[in-house]
Amino acid sequence: MPNFLVVKNLALPDDYSIIELDGHKILTLRGFYEEIGEALAFPEEFGFTIESLDEMLSNLSWLEDEKIVVYISPSEHFIEKERNPEKIGTLLNLLDAICEDWRWDDDNEDLPKKELIFAFADSARIRELLDKQEISYRKDAK
């Protein structure tokens, strides 16, 4: 399974836990941090920064689920009000790297094995953002 999915309808095997984020609330990075922090029950030390997001998503030890899909819908306004648009690329590249790290992190005995995937409701905006960063994605989950 790829790190990113862009889908019209999210359909995954039953062993995946789907965490839905309200895309209407993700107009800025702060909005993204708030939504993902609440949905994934980040510990109190989450600092609402890219560094803190990296730390939280690279751990996930407080979650019992092994296969996690973070689904953002709708995605046509994904972080469109961020003052510094370059931060969107930084975020997407970080998310891709974290997913990839989970895929290959067999050596870390301190953390339970996880699979992390980000799925977006299909929109021209999200496809454009991912293409601009040269991040590969699958267009459907079938």
Q: Tens digit of pLDDT for each residue in 16-35? A: 999 999 999 999 999 999 99
The structure tokens listed for 30 are 């702060």
With pLDDT > 90 as the criterion, what percentage of the chain qualifies? 84
pLDDT at 141: 47
Q: Reduced to 3 states, what is the DSSP secondary structure of residue 7? A: strand
The per-residue pLDDT for 106 is 62
pLDDT of residue 100: 94
Q: Report pLDDT for 70.
A: 98
How many whole angstroms from its chain centre is CA 57? 9
CB atoms within 10 A of CB 97: 15
pLDDT at 132: 95
The CATH code belonging to domain 4-132 is 3.30.370.10
Do 86 and 73 form a contact (C-beta atoms < 8 A)?
Answer: no
Name the band, by pLDDT with cuts 50, 70 and 90, for residue 109.
low
Q: Name the burial class of residue 32, with classes exposed (0-12), middle (13-18) and buried (19+) by CB atoms within 10 angstroms of its CB.
A: buried
Q: Per residue in 128-141, pLDDT tens?
A: 999 999 999 999 74
Contact at 8 Å (CB) between 59 and 109?
A: no
- How much is the pLDDT for 107? 61
The pLDDT assigned to 108 comes to 59
**Relative orientation angle of helices 86-104 and 50-57, to the nearest 10 degrees:** 20
The yes-or-no verdict on residue 36 having pLDDT over 50 is yes
pLDDT at 112: 72
Q: Phi/psi at 7 (nearest 5 deg)?
A: -135, 150
Rounded to a whole number of angstroms, the CA Rg of the chain reads 14
Give 57-91 pLDDT, tens digit per residue. Answer: 999 999 999 999 999 999 999 999 999 989 999 99
